[in-house]
């Protein structure tokens, strides 16, 4: 635990960049293919580099998302890192902190690009993600259960039966995130919706409605993470410190979907929360906004309970009465999230977290925002990060 605690405030985000989600989506819908995954990643990287105000040659570490190859991305970006890796949105940040703490690197670029819409990537069915057997849910292809929507629908049916949470209460997630998206120039879905609109929308897999599903679009995201020392000396803008991180895996039964269907990620979330909050010296009451990985809306209520933002079994009432929009008690997914902003597999949530701490949220800025908690729960793996001033 001493090693884990030593990661608090070791590193800071000094640069963020994203591709043009709105413009590129319009071009893809018109039949064009503006970029491949590497092109989107390169666009985001160049914007992050400019945002950080540092030179390309200052970068000595590179982590790429699982959609692109490390060596090729380094070549295309014109950088020569001495240390690198490939990781998802959450683990890339933790790995960057570890590399900085151990002296393996000082300035690390985290880069992600995905042409999933224009390349017609499948996330369900016999050819899901090309039939890659490393994906846990693909193990169930012989039984036809590869649909993530069907998985989460089954899980949330059980959650509603046990807690009394209703479909209308779940609809608060989609309604709040569409409100936030309407204030975000980077968001794809800006038209406001009401609970009535949500309830009238068609089921995709009951009890999940159309508005409970994430978007599928092309794009790229990049972050520049450095040592806190380097950030103080060189950052163009206010550095955003990483105050705490946590990870806990519920591997037992993971490929049979057990952690999601039976425990709703709860044991992993609780252990992850303990690590993260202890490291940061904070608690749920200190958090000003939460960014939650939301490939489906039901991730949000499960995380709110699992990380201690409301009592167990009370999340339906909490969302409906206390509120998870900018007008409520605890703003969640202030950029619109995967449901309404863009589906960048968790990367865009972290850009939004940095913007909020910097005070760059424009019309959606959370007042006096000091700490933002980002969390992701995928296949029994709970990962969390606290960004702060």
pLDDT digits (tens, 9 = 90+) for 283-308: 999 999 999 999 999 999 999 999 99
Domain assignment present for 128? no
Average pLDDT over residues 13-39: 97
Residue 141 has pLDDT above 60, yes or no: no
Domain assignment present for 190? no
CA 157, 159, 163, 166: dihedral to nearest 10 degrees?
Answer: -50
* Token pair for 74: 């380094």
| Number of C-beta neighbours around residue 308 at 10 A | 17
Average pLDDT over residues 265-271: 93
Please give the share of the chain, as a percent, with pLDDT higher than 70.
Answer: 93
Domain assignment present for 205? no
* Token pair for 42: 């390169």
Residue 253 has pLDDT above 60, yes or no: yes
Mean pLDDT of the chain: 93
Greater model confidence, 253 or 189: 189
Residue 128 has pLDDT above 70, yes or no: no
Domain assignment present for 101? yes
Domain assignment present for 325? yes
CATH of the domain at 233: 3.40.47.10
Q: For residue 327, what are the contacts with CB-CB under 8 A and spacing of at least 6?
A: 179
Domain assignment present for 183? no
Task: Say if strands 371-378 and 289-292 run parallel, antiparallel, or are unpaired.
Answer: parallel
Average pLDDT over residues 26-40: 96
d(CA 372, CA 288): 6
Contact between residue 177 and residue 340 where contact means Cβ atoms under 8 Å apart: yes
Please give the share of the chain, as a percent, with pLDDT higher than 90.
Answer: 85
Q: Convert the pLDDT of each residue in 342-357 to its tens digit.
A: 999 999 999 999 999 9
* Token pair for 320: 């409906």
Tally of domains within the chain: 1
* Token pair for 50: 């400019």
Domain assignment present for 162? no
d(CA 88, CA 74): 17
| Number of C-beta neighbours around residue 194 at 10 A | 11
Domain residues for 292? 2-120+215-388
CA contacts within 13 A on the Cβ side of 204 = 17
Residue 373 has pLDDT above 70, yes or no: yes
> Cα separations (Å) of 273 from 72, 180, 265, 330, 377?
36, 26, 12, 17, 12
The predicted pLDDT at position 146 comes to: 75
Domain assignment present for 180? no
pLDDT confidence band for 1 (50 / 70 / 90): very low
Residue 59 has pLDDT above 80, yes or no: yes
């Amino acid at each position: 635990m001493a090693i884990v605690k030593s990661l608090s405030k070791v590193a800071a985000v000094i640069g963020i960049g994203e591709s043009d989600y709105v413009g590129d989506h319009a071009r893809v819908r018109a039949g064009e293919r503006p970029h491949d995954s590497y092109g989107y990643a390169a666009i985001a990287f160049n914007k992050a580099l400019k945002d950080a105000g540092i030179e390309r040659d200052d970068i000595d570490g590179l982590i790429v998302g699982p959609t692109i190859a490390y060596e090729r991305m380094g070549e295309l970006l014109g950088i020569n890192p001495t240390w690198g890796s490939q990781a998802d949105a959450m683990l890339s940040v933790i790995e960057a902190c570890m590399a900085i703490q151990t002296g393996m690197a000082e300035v690390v670029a985290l880069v992600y690009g995905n042409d999933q819409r224009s390349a017609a990537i499948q996330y369900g069915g016999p050819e899901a993600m090309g039939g890659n057997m490393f994906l846990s849910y693909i193990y169930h292809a012989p039984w036809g259960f590869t649909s993530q929507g069907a998985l989460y629908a089954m899980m949330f049916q059980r959650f509603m039966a046990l807690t009394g949470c209703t479909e209308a209460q779940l609809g608060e997630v989609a309604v709040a995130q569409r409100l936030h998206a309407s204030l975000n120039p980077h968001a794809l879905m800006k038209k406001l919706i009401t609970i009535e609109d949500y309830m009238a929308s068609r089921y995709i897999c009951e009890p999940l409605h159309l508005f409970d599903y994430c978007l599928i679009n092309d794009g790229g995201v990049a972050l520049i993470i450095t040592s806190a020392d380097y950030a103080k000396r060189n950052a163009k803008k206010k550095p955003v410190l990483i105050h705490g991180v946590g990870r806990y895996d519920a591997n037992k039964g993971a490929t049979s979907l057990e952690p999601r269907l039976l425990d709703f990620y709860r044991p992993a979330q609780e252990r992850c929360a303990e690590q993260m909050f202890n490291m940061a010296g904070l608690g749920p009451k200190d958090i000003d906004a939460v960014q939650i990985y939301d490939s489906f809306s039901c991730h949000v209520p499960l995380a709110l309970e699992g990380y201690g933002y409301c009592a167990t079994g009370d999340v339906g009432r909490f969302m409906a009465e206390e509120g998870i929009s900018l007008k409520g008690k605890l703003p969640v997914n202030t950029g619109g999230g995967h449901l309404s902003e863009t589906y960048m597999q968790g990367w865009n949530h972290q850009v939004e977290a940095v913007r909020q701490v910097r005070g760059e949220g424009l019309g959606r800025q959370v007042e006096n925002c000091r700490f933002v908690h980002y969390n992701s729960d995928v296949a029994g793996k709970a990962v969390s990060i606290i960004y702060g001033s």
